Structure 1
């Protein structure tokens, strides 16, 4: 197994939306750090490739179908994980959707609710599922993948921005509530992460602003001190740190991984 300091050796990590992009990067980073990993997505077949990659690193891995917006589906995923591992030390609520890119006055209530249900309710449901076992153990790390869009505007993305800002508030409140039980809660706020998702975002930003895709991409990269997109494994490394004993004094924080695009 690739050595990442073995910071999570003997621990169990759950990663929702673990089938691609940021979720894949997090799952692999957890495995490299020594954790057993449970990954989930709505389509279980989409998880097979990542599960193979995790196992190739020498880590235990299970893949399970889960719709994070569905209470029964989340409960079933939790039951599967607990039957296999008997504990969960790290819960990374990563599953999410980009939502529509249109002026808010042109959105339907159904479109609004779908984005909120997956990007916010999904964090609530998956966190709630594993909080009891963490309280019983007297330790645990809950990590939600928010976004810098929860901190700064992005044209036409009102539902997504609202959900991601709400995730930060949820994490801060849970950190206060669960700290006395030894459970830490933090959010990670990625910037523009290389991969299919940002390609879609760039296309939609170009459309809504009436600019070229190249110009739209440069609006994400040029303002950053590092002049580039973020890589999925950089988000994964941040999650490993937050889950590890090296971050034992960190809770209630929202950590940017944005190549410096956002510094607050």
Structure 2
């Protein structure tokens, strides 16, 4: 399938590792220019080297920006810098680190505020900053908001995800309605069970809690999924590329579950 991404200009937040880096890599593989943003300069340099090595693209087609999602001005400056250097934007992928997994009894107001800043505020600021650039383009533009599948099916003892991430679903649907007439599609990519550093940490915690081996804990996580295996970040990246591409030109306001069949439906 021709995804028609050659020459498209994409900005991805929280993209120096894991899911974000995988999405950036696959976008670059399809011919897009990519700008990746994250806090750490060293991680950004490693991510750029990985993307260039994996895809063979020119180094000038991969830009990096140090950006702290807890600082709204950092986000605005990153969007404006990427749009200026690329001469516009066609694709925005919002992403953020996962909030702590904890029950309400262990959740204080300070943690609640930090999670709001990480999940909701950073996404809203990125969207508000990027949408004018996306609208200005000559062709259709796309937004993909990365949100955990557990937001649509909250788990016990995971109050922070349950409190904030469903709001991104609703926000995406609202923006799809508002910006569709202006040529911008807005969708959510919703992972679970994909092997990242965060999932590996959860697997180790499960092993410690249940007093089983890490391998047994990994198999237990895989058994939660109808597909009976954990996903690879490359699979996630390819799905994001599809949502971002003109190949998905009739898809907007949707939530795509990338979870091996874990979630029965995607209605938050």
TM-score by length of 2: 0.90
Q: 1:244 to 1:198 in 2, by over 3 A?
A: same
Find the residue that maps to 2:31 and give its secondary structure.
coil
**RMSD across aligned positions (CA):** 1.9
Give the aligned partner of residue 24 of structure 1: 21
Question: Unpaired segments of 5 or more residues in structure 2?
Answer: none
Aligned residues: 259
Q: Deviations over 1:90-147 (max 9, x none)?
A: 00002x2222232211111111221221122111111111100112226310100011
1:144 aligns with 2:159: no
| Distance (Å, rounded) in 2 between the aligned partners of 1:125 and 1:153 | 25
Other-structure match for 1:261: 262
Q: d(CA) in 2 for partners of 1:118 and 1:205?
A: 25
Distance 1:251 1:127 in 2: 16
* Equivalent runs, 1:48-67 vs 2, <5 Å: 48-56=45-53, 57-59=56-58, 60-67=61-68
Counterpart in 2 of 1:132?
132
Query: Which position in structure 2 is the counterpart of 1:47?
Result: 44
* Alignment map for 1:97-108 (pairs within 5 Å): 97-108=97-108
Q: Is the 8 A contact 2:115 2:160 kept in 1?
A: yes
The aligned residue for residue 110 of structure 2 is 110
Task: Find the aligned partners of 2:89 and 2:238 in 1 and give their Cα distance.
Answer: 19
Q: Is the 8 A contact 1:145 1:187 kept in 2?
A: yes
Residues 260, 155 of structure 1: alpha-carbon distance in 2 compared, 3 angstrom cutoff: same
Taking the aligned partners of 1:51 and 1:35, their CA distance within structure 2 comes to: 14
CA distance in 2, matches of 1:206, 1:129: 42
Match of 1:152, SS?
A: coil
Tell me the distance in 2 between the aligned counterparts of 1:34 and 1:239.
14
Tell me the CA shift for residue 76 of structure 1.
Answer: 1.2
| 2:195 equivalent in structure 1 | 194
1:159 is matched with 160
Tell me what 1:119 maps to: 119
Q: 1:250 to 1:184 in 2, by over 3 A?
A: same
What residue number does 2:174 align with? 173
Aligned to 2:226, the other structure's residue is in SS state coil
State whether residues 144 and 171 of structure 1, in contact with CA within 8 Å, keep that contact through their aligned partners in structure 2.
yes
Distance 2:133 2:231 in 1: 33
Mapped to 1, the partners of 2:206 and 2:119 lie a distance apart of: 20
Structure 2 CA distance, aligned partners of 1:121 and 1:58?
A: 33
Check whether the contact 1:224–1:260 (CA below 8 A) recurs between aligned residues. yes
| TM superposition shift of 1:211 | 6.0
TM-score, normalising length from structure 1?
0.91
**In structure 1, what is the Cα distance between the partners aligned to 2:211 and 2:110?**
29
CA deviation string 1:201-231 (max 9, x = no partner): 2344566x75645665445311322111111
Counterpart CA distance in 2 for 1:204 and 1:166 is 28
